[in-house]
Amino acid sequence: MYNTDMPTANELPSTTKLIRSTIIAFIIALVLLVTVVMPAEYALDPTGAGRLLGLTTMGEIKEQLVLDAAADEAAQRVPIQSSSDENLTAPVKLISETPAVPVLEAEPITQALAFAPTAEVEWQDEIRVVLTPGEGTEFKLTMDEGAIARFSWTSEGGPINYDTHGDGGGKSISYEKGREVLEGEGELQAAFDGNHGWFFRNRNSNDITLVLRTSGDYGELKTMR
């Protein structure tokens, strides 16, 4: 059997070489962390290299997916009372704007009944805001429990994602959520004393103009962010 010769002391790397190699490896790892890992995984790009390599966009998408997943999970934990469910009762609901119409009614009549009341409303507040791609904004009404507010919103330039929710006194609730919607209207009844309203986010590649109109029993309409 052949035995491998043990290296001599002269053949072994010196302590200085080992330290230098360790320092070089550490520097390389640090550079990769800052220029590749942080932009791609966490959308953090202190050097700007991630943006040039297209990695920062990847990280931003991952971060947004995580936020959207968390919001969806939180919404699923809270039961949402549907306005069309006549067999269930709950203190909170979004009241549908479309009245009950027999099945045999003609479709043009149904649409007229659904949208005619909008022209009769005298809105107390109106907000118009431009959202750039990926930008979000939130509006809240200060309301007492059981109070009802009328609302109508439209997204000009493309559909929008929204989450109608409320919070106050340690409580929170998500009334309704939607993706790629052009408009919405109805009545919002507060589940408890606090702030109740909408979060909107523009997922288009172009700017959109969001117009929100409100009226009813509330204190003020606040822009949260």
Question: What percentage of residues in the chain have a pLDDT greater than 70?
Answer: 69
Q: Which residue, among 63, 38, 39, has the nearest Cα to 52 in the 3D structure?
A: 39
Burial class (CB in 10 A: 0-12, 13-18, 19+), 41: middle
Tens of pLDDT, residues 175-202:
999 999 999 999 999 999 999 999 999 9
Q: Rounded distance, CA 109 to CA 114, Å?
A: 9
**Token pair of 195 as six digits:** 């702030």
**Where are the chain's structural domains?**
15-76, 94-223
Spell out a b/e string for 183-218, using b for 16 or more CB atoms within 10 Å of the CB, else e. ebbbebbbbbbbbbbbbbbbbbeeebebebbbbbeb
Average pLDDT, the chain: 78
**Token pair of 120 as six digits:** 């009769």
Tell me which of 114 and 53 has the higher pLDDT.
53
Locate tokens 């022209």: which residue?
119
Tens of pLDDT, residues 60-92:
777 776 776 666 666 555 444 433 344 433 444
DSSP-based three-state secondary structure for 120: helix
H or E, element range at 32: helix 15-32
Task: Output the pLDDT for position 52.
Answer: 80
CATH class of the domain defined by 94-223: mainly beta
